[in-house]
Amino acid sequence: MHSDAPTVDEYLAELPPDRREALARVREVILRHLPEGYAESMQFGMIGYGIPLERYPKTYNKQPLALAALASQKRYMVVYLNGVYAASDEEAWFKERYAASGKKLDMGKSCVYFRKLEDLPLDVIGEAIARWPVERYIAQYEESRRATRRG
């Protein structure tokens, strides 16, 4: 569900209490593990964590280069982990760590769906965020753009 909330606090305030609490807890984990150089903002109607345009303006869509996002959808909540999608070795690492948590993974390309907070291994989410310092993420992004132009 898309939100027009201009701030993260307003976005969270729009949510039912159970979802507000769940997303607030995931947000805390992301903020605690977010490498220096990223900023939290509202992007595309959800809470986003990206590299500000002042730091890296060369994105294909003129939006901050997003590492992660959080959203409440109609039937589930979701955390987008673009770093997991960006590199196959990261995806393999993530799936292995998730399986070791004993929790069932419900995942699209970069998104991990969950219905309640207990479905999500917060330590694994935090680790996935922490693995992407800004310089590494920019390098991965630029490599993917070069590969796309070649392909």
Rounded to the nearest 5°, which phi and psi values hold at 77? -110, 160
Residue 149 has pLDDT above 70, yes or no: no
The CATH number assigned to the domain holding 93 equals 3.90.1150.200
Residue 54 has pLDDT above 60, yes or no: yes
Residue 102: exposure state from Cβ atoms within 10 A (0-12, 13-18, ≥19): exposed
Residue 2 lies in a domain: no
Radius of gyration in angstroms for the set of CA atoms belonging to the chain, rounded to a whole number: 15
Residue 3 lies in a domain: no
Residue 121 lies in a domain: yes
Q: Residue 1: what pLDDT?
A: 62
One-letter amino acid for residue 10 of the chain: E
Residue 27 lies in a domain: yes
Taking the CA atoms of residue 57, residue 147, residue 96 and residue 137 in that order, the dihedral angle to the nearest 10 degrees is -20
Residue 74 has pLDDT above 50, yes or no: yes
* pLDDT, average across residues 102-112: 94
Domain range for 113 is 8-150
Q: Residue 144: what pLDDT?
A: 85
* pLDDT classification of 151: cutoffs 50, 70, 90: very low
Q: Residue 3: what pLDDT?
A: 83
* pLDDT classification of 146: cutoffs 50, 70, 90: confident
Burial string for 73-94 (b: 16+ CB within 10 Å, else e) reads eeebbbbbbbbbbbbeebbebb
Residue 1 lies in a domain: no
Residue 117 lies in a domain: yes
Number of domains composing the chain: 1
Residue 146 lies in a domain: yes
